[in-house]
Amino acid sequence: MSHDPPRPAGRLLLTPQDKDAPARVRRLRRLGLGERPEPAFDAFADHLARVAAAPYSMVNFIDERQQFFAGLHTPDGARGARLMAGVDGSELEPGRYMARDHGFCPHVVVRRKALVLEDVCDYPRFAGNPVVDEFGVRSYLGAPLLDRSGIALGTICVVDIEPRPWGRAGLETIKAMAAELAGQLERRDEVHGI
């Protein structure tokens, strides 16, 4: 059993090692995913935000270096102009891309399991993530998009700048919606004969 090394105070907690990244990248490229936004993914993110009553939601594909929000919902409807305001009120512009060591989706992809963080500050492992200080993220709910071979292509997730009691209902909802989108991706795969 592996354990995370101790984290020096004030240092970035490293994203877990992702041994499946090369296979994921090949699969994403074959499917034509992870390089450009798609209206269907934006619509899915909008629907996910409504269902979860969350201000932000994403359909996120992850490669070896970065995350790409192929689907994005923000409260003001901006699609890539501004993901969130900084905690000091300044506007940040990560757009549809985010470094792989930011956020919680890379953890979901490596674990291949949903992750519920009702208040990220309650979890020392996650409280030091850059999105907490830079964007003010306080709660996260995400699930992996598993293809038929078991590769986690990415995630769907919702986030809030306030703590949220997602509960069992939130967990079941995010898992069901991830399975729904994974099914759509599989049908897309079949149509293209990949």
Per-residue model confidence (pLDDT) at position 169: 95
Q: Are 169 and 139 in contact (CB under 8 A)?
A: no
In a domain, 53, yes or no: yes
Average pLDDT, the chain: 83
Q: pTM of the prediction? A: 0.83
In a domain, 10, yes or no: no
Q: Are 63 and 69 in contact (CB under 8 A)?
A: no
Pick the closest to residue 33 from 71, 65, 64, 83 (CA basis): 71
Per-residue model confidence (pLDDT) at position 80: 52
Q: The domain that contains 116 carries what CATH number?
A: 3.30.450.40
Total number of domains in the chain: 1
In a domain, 31, yes or no: yes
How many angstroms separate the CA atoms of 117 and 101, rounded?
Answer: 17
How many angstroms separate the CA atoms of 117 and 132, rounded?
Answer: 12
Per-residue model confidence (pLDDT) at position 65: 86
DSSP-based helix, strand, coil % in the chain, nearest 5: 35, 20, 45
Segment-wise mean pLDDT, segments of 10 residues, the chain, 194 residues: 39 71 92 90 96 95 91 79 41 68 92 95 87 88 94 96 95 97 87 57
In a domain, 6, yes or no: no
Domain that holds residue 112: 21-192
Token pair belonging to 134: 């830079």
> Which amino acid is residue 194, in one-letter code?
I
In a domain, 5, yes or no: no
